[in-house]
Structure 1
Amino acid sequence: MDKETLDAWIASATNKLDQCYRTDSGMFVLGKVLYFAPEDPDGSWPGQVIRDVLEERRNPHIEEGFYFQVLNSRGVTSRGLDEGGKQEEELAEKYRGIAESFADDWPRVARLFREISRTYKLDARREEADAERHRRGLPR
């Protein structure tokens, strides 16, 4: 991934989006696209070029698009009625770890991944509460 090429592409896209008054929605889609960028050779994801773009641009629409693409990339899930939120707990831990690994050099990116982790924590609590109601024979 080449930062100069990506920056030029984003600048060109921004210019075109500005011309048709679609900047915010376009930046949201751009954030979704950034999710699909390859990882770094050392396996870190998102790659440094993407982290730099997120950090430097400070665009809430790009960040929101990236956030939702991370959540939506999970796809459809299934579980037993009394399984609880184990799946979500594991994802929360995964994204918390990513946040911690980026906190020193990319604090804005770390904040984004902490928010993703928090979302999965909340989902885990909800799933656990549903499972507990099922275990007790209470209606959902």
Structure 2
Amino acid sequence: MASQACRLLRLWNRIPGSDDEGGIDQVLLEDWIKEARAKAREIGRGAIADIQIGQMLATSPKGSDGIWPAEPVRAVIELFRSEELESGFRTGKYNLRGVPTRLREKEGVSSSRMRSSTADGPRQRRLTRLGP
């Protein structure tokens, strides 16, 4: 059961309160987080719940002001001020960058160029097989 729950959390890619256009209702998000945290505390899982919530929040799109994460996500992070939630958020952001690879400079993109291209978050990439 625990492994199924963990798998479900890893596949989760929609922030509660999100609409189909990518907007996030801050009140719905706050209410969902309050309820999830309360239920997790009841069973002694408050810290891990905050970590998972933080990782989920890291999937936020940019806000209407062009800054990542979206305004409602920034607001709930400030509202709850949880070390575990913020740690999960950092981990989630780190994990969104995908699997790093090292390419030889003459055959591909340098690691530093690849890092700079992911500074704004994950982007779709076309991978091609490198020659010998």
TM-score normalised by L of structure 2: 0.61
- Ranges of 4+ aligned residues in structure 1 off by more than 6 Å: none
Richer in helix (by share): 1
Distance in structure 2 (CA, Å) of the matches to 1:37 and 1:86: 25
The count of corresponding residues between Structure 1 and Structure 2 is: 94
Post-superposition offset of 1:18:
0.8
Which residue of 2 is the match for residue 34 of structure 1? Answer: 57
The gaps in structure 2 that reach 5 residues or longer are 1-23, 121-132
Distance 1:60 1:88, change over 3 A: farther
Structure with the bigger RCO (C-alpha within 8 Å, sep 6+) is 1
Q: 1:86 aligns with which of 90, 94, 112?
A: 112
Distance in structure 2 (CA, Å) of the matches to 1:91 and 1:69: 18
Post-superposition offset of 1:56:
2.2
Contact 2:58-2:69 at 8 Å conserved across structures = yes
Identity %: 28
Which residue of 1 is the match for residue 100 of structure 2? Answer: 77
Distance 1:42 1:25, change over 3 A: same
Post-superposition offset of 1:58:
1.2
TM-score normalised by L of structure 1: 0.58
CA RMSD of aligned residues (A): 2.3
